[in-house]
């Protein structure tokens, strides 16, 4: 598996926000759960933004992140220039343009992120993250603020181009392995299924 989590505990603000998280994440992994359950913190911990007080995290391959706030993806200049910064030479200008076309954001390449709508910045953030050619992609509320058509297009490109994707969401997607998170605990398998039913995700 691309991501191995072993008994990961993290305390923030005097309370445990991750509680013994243990899982092997590979392929298409979807983490759902209520607001404040620890989904975002888990992704940031996997990415290295937080250091767990206990446990271990191993990531196989190059990792990239789509942050919930798209503005974290942009430093200055145009969308294309920001994508080139994230790429660090892994994609040529022509390859960035091709990726932007596939994602449906080619018309945004010459624009400043600060003149775009929230949804446009969200889509452009995906372009920057994929420009680093990741083996593993962590995406926090990836499709929030996107039109159904654009969301479907972006999700398809990600599924086709990245080996391992871990996505947090409040919705379910077919073909994804689903985990449930609540109060810092990650549930999988039958336990996750029970939580999905308990919280109204399934009939």
What pLDDT, in 10s, does the model give residues 46-86? 999 999 999 999 999 999 999 999 999 999 899 999 999 99
Lowest mean pLDDT among 1-10, 109-118, 154-163, 169-178: 169-178
184 burial type by CB count under 10 A (0-12 exposed, 13-18 middle, 19+ buried): buried
Strand partners of residue 168: 31, 140
Residues in the chain: 203
What is the CATH topology of the domain spanning 1-60+168-203?
Answer: Rossmann fold (3.40.50)
Q: Look at residue 144 in the predicted model and tell me its pLDDT.
A: 83
- 201 pLDDT higher than 80: yes
Alpha-carbon distance of 14 to 27, in angstroms, equals 34
Alpha-carbon distance of 103 to 62, in angstroms, equals 21
pTM of the predicted model as reported, rounded to 2 decimal places: 0.94
Alpha-carbon distance of 154 to 194, in angstroms, equals 30
Q: How remote is the C-alpha of 138 from its chain's centroid? A: 3
What is the DSSP-derived secondary structure letter of residue 33? -
Q: CB-hemisphere CA count at 13 Å for 128? A: 27
What is the DSSP-derived secondary structure letter of residue 108? G
> Apex CA 121: angle with CA 120 and CA 124, to 5°?
90
Q: What is the mean pLDDT of the chain?
A: 94
Q: Look at residue 66 in the predicted model and tell me its pLDDT.
A: 97
User: In this structure, are residues 18 and 9 in contact, taking their beta carbons and an 8 Å threshold?
Assistant: yes
Phi, psi of 30 (to 5 degrees): -115, 125
Residue 101: pLDDT band with limits 50, 70, 90? very high
Residue 196: pLDDT band with limits 50, 70, 90? very high
Q: Look at residue 166 in the predicted model and tell me its pLDDT.
A: 97
Alpha-carbon distance of 80 to 84, in angstroms, equals 6
What pLDDT, in 10s, does the model give residues 133-176? 999 999 999 888 788 898 899 999 999 999 999 999 888 888 89
Q: Which of 74, 69, 81, 61 is nearest to 44 (CA)?
A: 69
Q: Look at residue 1 in the predicted model and tell me its pLDDT.
A: 56
Q: Look at residue 174 in the predicted model and tell me its pLDDT.
A: 81
Alpha-carbon distance of 108 to 36, in angstroms, equals 33
Q: Look at residue 77 in the predicted model and tell me its pLDDT.
A: 94
- 115 pLDDT higher than 90: yes
């Amino acid at each position: 598996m691309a991501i191995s989590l072993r008994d990961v505990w993290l305390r923030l603000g005097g309370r445990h926000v991750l509680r013994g998280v243990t899982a092997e994440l590979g392929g298409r992994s979807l983490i759902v759960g209520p607001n404040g359950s620890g989904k975002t913190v888990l992704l940031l911990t996997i990415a290295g933004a937080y250091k767990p007080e206990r446990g271990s995290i191993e990531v196989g391959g190059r990792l990239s992140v789509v942050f919930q706030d798209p503005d974290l993806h942009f430093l200055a200049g145009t969308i294309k220039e920001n994508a080139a910064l994230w790429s660090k030479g892994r994609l040529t200008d022509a390859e960035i343009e091709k990726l932007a076309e596939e994602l449906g954001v080619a018309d945004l390449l010459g624009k400043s992120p600060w003149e775009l709508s929230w949804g446009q910045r969200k889509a452009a953030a995906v372009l920057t993250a994929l420009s680093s050619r990741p083996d593993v992609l962590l995406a926090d509320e990836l499709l929030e603020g996107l039109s159904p058509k654009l969301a479907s297009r972006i999700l398809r490109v990600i599924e086709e181009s990245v080996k391992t994707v871990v996505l947090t969401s409040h919705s379910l997607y077919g073909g994804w392995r689903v985990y449930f998170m609540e109060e810092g605990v990650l549930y999988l398998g039958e336990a996750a299924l029970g939580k999905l039913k308990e919280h109204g995700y399934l009939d």
